[in-house]
């Protein structure tokens, strides 16, 4: 086992110490919230940041709105045509597209990390945020949607855009 330490648990990783209210030095230790490894309902969650939203129902609702907004923004940025309106310079357009891509990916990773809290409410608002963003910006219900020409068929139809994460 090159470079791996075996501490007797058979997985090559040290087992976490048992949770207690005091350490061996007599100093009190903070209780840590257990990370869920399966979906659960409830407003006592830890999403994105330590201690957030806490056990307050109002803060939980705020976190639901925040995750919804992040997912909705990911869809908006994915379909924005701001580069065509701003410049004809290829270098400026390339840099602007790169910045937009980085922002979109950062927001998408935030949504993914929030969903990894395994809170059912967070999962639902993330999916609904993406769905309503797609409906608003891509489907064509509220204006021009994503028209793509099917290869070899010579006509335009509504198709799902390729997935890119």
Q: What is the pLDDT of residues 49-87, one digit of tens each?
A: 888 888 889 999 999 999 999 999 999 998 877 666 666
> How much of the chain exceeds pLDDT 70, in percent?
62
112 found inside a domain? yes
Q: Are 54 and 43 in contact (CB under 8 A)?
A: no
Domain count for the chain? 1
Flag whether 146 is in a domain: no
Let me know if residue 81 belongs to a domain.
yes
Q: Which residue has the higher pLDDT, 159 or 55?
A: 55
Residue 31, in any domain of the structure: no
Contact indicator for 68, 128 with CB cutoff of 8 Å: yes
Structure tokens at 27: 């100093």
The predicted pLDDT at position 158 comes to: 53
Is residue 18 included in any domain, yes or no?
Answer: no
Q: What is the pTM of this model?
A: 0.66
> Would 87 be classed as within a structural domain?
yes
**pLDDT tens per residue across span 93-141:** 888 888 989 999 999 999 999 999 999 999 999 999 999 999 998 887 8
Q: Which domain holds residue 93?
A: 70-139
């Amino acid at each position: 086992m090159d470079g791996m330490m075996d501490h007797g648990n058979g997985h090559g990783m040290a087992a976490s110490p048992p949770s207690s209210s005091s350490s061996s030095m007599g100093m009190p230790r903070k209780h840590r919230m257990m990370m869920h490894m399966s979906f659960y309902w409830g407003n006592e969650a830890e999403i994105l940041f330590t201690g957030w939203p806490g056990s307050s129902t109002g803060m939980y609702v705020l976190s639901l709105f925040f995750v919804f907004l992040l997912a909705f923004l990911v869809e908006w940025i994915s379909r924005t045509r701001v580069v065509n309106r701003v410049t004809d310079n290829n270098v400026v357009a390339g840099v602007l597209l790169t910045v937009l891509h980085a922002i979109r990916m950062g927001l998408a990773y935030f949504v993914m990390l929030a969903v990894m809290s395994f809170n059912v409410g967070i999962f639902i608002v993330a999916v609904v945020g993406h769905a309503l963003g797609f409906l608003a910006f891509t489907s064509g219900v509220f204006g021009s949607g994503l028209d793509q020409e099917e290869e070899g068929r010579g006509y335009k139809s509504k198709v799902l855009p390729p997935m890119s994460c």
